[in-house]
Chains A and B, each alone.
Chain A
Amino acid sequence: MNDEQLNELFRTARAARPDTSRAEYGFETRLLAAIRENRRQPIPLAALAWRLMPVFAAIVVVAGVWSYSVQSEMSAETTLGTGDQAMFAGLSGGE
């Protein structure tokens, strides 16, 4: 099949414009009913989860900051403890 034959096929198929009148009949009525039905339905869980995404993100950030600060505090305490041990060891003549 060459390009000319293919173009001819397209030209002919274009002429067969699908008749949509049957499907269009009463379309607005059905559409509005579907929209009203959608409006009445509760928000699906997945959509709700997406809407709550900023809240989840904020919780993660706060937890991260809190975890980091707690870790820093513990690390400071550990360092202090090591210093005390060294001082005690020095006083008692140990290493």
Chain B
Amino acid sequence: MTAPTNEPSDQRLIESTLAGDDGAFATLVARHRRKVFGIAARFARNDAELQDICQDIFVKAYQKLKSFRGEAPFEHWVSRIAVRSCYDFLRATRHDRENIPLDGIELGTQPSDNVQHASELLHWAMAKLSNDERLVITLLELEERSVRETAELTGWSESNVKVRAFRARQALKKILEASHER
């Protein structure tokens, strides 16, 4: 995000935060909050989980702020922390997600007929994927990140991202086909 000229830059806010100004960190958070919430919302199941994940992300960012070298924009840096935190969240809640029932999600209609229906169906199917598969599908297909960006965010190689994405799509197709057969 480009800061308006009359507002302090991210780098300036970081320096002020490191000097002990918590208000500067609050401004930095307000500036990048929407992006982080957008990523986390793809993984959280409700507002409480979303708040917890985002709080965890920004607390980590605050604690690691000294290690921010400014080689990449702060937004990229915090996005990497967000993706890792979401991955940790997926690992921690894996068991809960596997048991989500299909009740309440109407099948048999065209997904394009109903945005909400498509979203719920996909959410249900993605809960059945492995953590890696879910992460790669979320970043590539829902967040519309490029393979390169996904590789940077996850720390995987580009070829690894492609392989995982291919497998994830195959797995997702199988899950959705099986759900239609029911």
Q: Which residue numbers of A lie inside 8 Å of B, CB to CB?
A: 1-3, 5-6, 8-18, 20, 22-24, 27-28, 30-32, 34-36, 38
Contacts and interface: CB of A to CB of B under 8 A. Distances in A.
A12 B30 CA distance: 29
A32 B172 CA distance: 40
Contacts of A35: 22, 25, 59, 62
A28 B112 contact: no
Interface in B52-98: 54-55, 58-59, 62
A13 B122 contact: yes
A19 B29 CA distance: 18
Contacts of A30: 51, 55
Contact of A22 (B47, B112, B173): B47
A12 B118 contact: yes
Identify whether the interface residues of B are mostly helix, strand, loop, or mixed.
helix
Interface stretch (B8-16, B36-44, B149-157): B36-44
Given A10-B142, A20-B41, A23-B50, 20 more contacts: A1-B173, A6-B169, A6-B172, A13-B119, A14-B142, A17-B38, A18-B38, A18-B42, A20-B37, A23-B51, A27-B55, A28-B29, A28-B33, A30-B51, A31-B26, A31-B29, A31-B58, A35-B22, A35-B59, A36-B22
Nearest to A12: B118
A12 to B, nearest CB: 4
Interface residues of B, number: 37
Given A23-B54, A24-B37, A27-B33, A10 B141 contact: yes
A3 B141 CA distance: 12
Interface string B108-151: 00011001101101110000000000000000011010000000
A12 B111 contact: yes
Contacts of A34: 55, 59
A10 B177 CA distance: 15
Nearest to B144: A14
